[in-house]
Structure 1
Amino acid sequence: MNGEFAVIGLGRFGGSIVRELSKNGYDVLAIDSDEERVNEYMGIATHSVIADTTDENVLKSLGIRNFDHVIVAIGENIQASILTTLILKELGVKSITVKATNDYHEKVLRKIGADFIVHPERDMGVRIANGLMSSNILDYLDLSQEFSIVEIKVSDRMANKTLIDLDLRSKYGANVVAIKRGENVMISLQADEVIEKGDYLVVIGENEDLDRLERAIHKVKS
């Protein structure tokens, strides 16, 4: 893959892309509206700039249409992600990859013409779940700077509740990709799956979210 890259959004996902591309010798423009994040990548990316990418004039001033590939890695602000992608398309950027945070986000991105859409958390979850059938979970703990996997032992207070009762995704941004029950690993999970005492939940998520989850689990452990 040749050419220049621009990465918009320097959270863990976008930041890891910047680091990997830069490490492999590519020219990378790193963009974020947060000054602290931009400063972090000044010595890593070819160029780092503070910018509001929902402003068409700002993107024009950056010469964004001259980049071969733009990655929109904006995290929680779906509106900013969609508007940025729309402007990039209107400016004629050759190839646009966008991080989607949910299915609705993906649907809108497809309608406005994003070239590639990725669900880092979901896609990694599928990879892990498939790997569990033939490999030890420990092979997959060190995923990236963006995501990690933890095994959570089900406590008395968690037992006999369903996955939807626990609601770990909306509360902590964490996805249960498998349940280990004795020698069995269950990966085709339904929302009404009942958790049993002694089970282990295999959970994937961003590191900060998993830290919050683990702190909460420790508080309620029986």
Structure 2
Amino acid sequence: MADQSFAVLGLGKFGMALTVALLKAEQDVLVIDSNEEVINDVAHLVTHAVIADATDEDELRDLDIGSFDHVFVTMGENVEGSIIATMLAKKLGAPDVTTRANNHNHRLVLEKIGADHVIEPEQDMARQLIFRQLHPNVVNFFHLSKNVSLIEVSVENPRFFNKSLGELDFRKNYDVNVIGIVHDGHLNEVPLATDVINPHDQITLIGSNEAVQKIDDILQEDK
């Protein structure tokens, strides 16, 4: 996946998890939150960490929010704030805005004001259940935006067994990044090029929707 720029507005549990996933994929990330303590906790990890009000148009303009490839509005519990932040991000020219909705009515409003992608927990859970039925080796998946997905999948293709990440070079050969490996129930959160893929390991990948779908199909092959 080519390097892109990401902005995360709101560092609650969901925003923090999203930020960590993007960092593991070696992407440039701007995080914004009004809580100084939260920003200080992540400032050394991300490209930019700013104490700001995501509902303040002048502050978002000063941060040039419209220049980011992807903007995530993750303050789902703050319905009014998420609506305003989404509206402002689109007004300032952000090409791809993903917002977390708290309920169906919240989703309808977000779509009405121009959110490009809306995450609604209950509906997304239903989609995941269906997706897992159609792709039995998939442990988990998540759409980060309209074009970018994260997927956790079991490796069933013998072509990948007992080979290191350096040998397999997922980024070069499949246009995805490996950001985690689960082996015998133990999670390796910082996989290295020397780490070896074992039969039935679960690996977490991030990339474009097309690239993720393609590598998922390949990893499911059992011969």
- TM-score after normalising by structure 1: 0.56
Aligned length: 140
Instruction: Identify the residue that residue 77 of structure 1 maps to in structure 2.
Output: 78
Bigger Cα Rg: 1
Do the aligned partners of 2:3 and 2:28 also contact (CA within 8 Å) in 1? no
**Residues 23 and 82 (structure 1), Cα distance of their counterparts in 2 relative to 1, 3 Å cut:** same
In the alignment, which residue of structure 2 is the partner of 1:49?
Answer: 50
Match of 1:65 in 2: 66
In the alignment, structure 2 segments of 5+ residues that lack a partner are: 143-223
Task: Give the deviation of 1:127 after TM superposition.
Answer: 2.6
Once the two structures are TM-superposed, the CA of residue 121 in structure 1 deviates from its matched residue by 4.8
Aligned to 2:107: 106
Q: CA deviation at 1:100?
A: 0.8
Matched-pair contact (CA < 8 Å) for 1:7–1:70: yes
Question: Cα gap change, 1:112/1:143 in structure 2, threshold over 3 Å: closer, same or farther?
Answer: closer
1:86 alignment counterpart: 87
Aligned partners of 2:7 and 2:31 also within 8 Å: yes
Percent of pairs with identical residues: 43
Letter in 2 for 1:56: E
| Paired letter, 2:110 | L
Task: Name the SS for the 1:53 alignment partner.
Answer: coil
Deviations 1:117-143 (A, max 9, x none): 1124541355358759x98xxx97x99
State the alpha-carbon separation in 2 of the partners of residues 3 and 122 from structure 1: 27
Q: Which residue identity does 2:70 align to in structure 1?
A: H
Which amino acid in 1 is paired with 2:10?
Answer: G
Root mean square deviation, CA, Å: 2.6
Question: Do the aligned partners of 2:7 and 2:72 also contact (CA within 8 Å) in 1?
Answer: yes
> Would the aligned equivalents of 2:128 and 2:141 in 1 still touch at CA under 8 Å?
no
Amino acid at match of 2:93: G
Deviations 1:81-115 (A, max 9, x none): 00111111111111101111100110001110111
Q: After TM superposition, which residue ranges in structure 1, 4 or more long, deviate above 2 angstroms?
A: 124-132
Distance 1:143 1:94 in 2: 23
1:1-222 correspondence to structure 2 within 5 Å: 1-124=2-125, 126-128=127-129
Uncovered stretches (5+) of structure 1, i.e. residues with no partner: 145-222
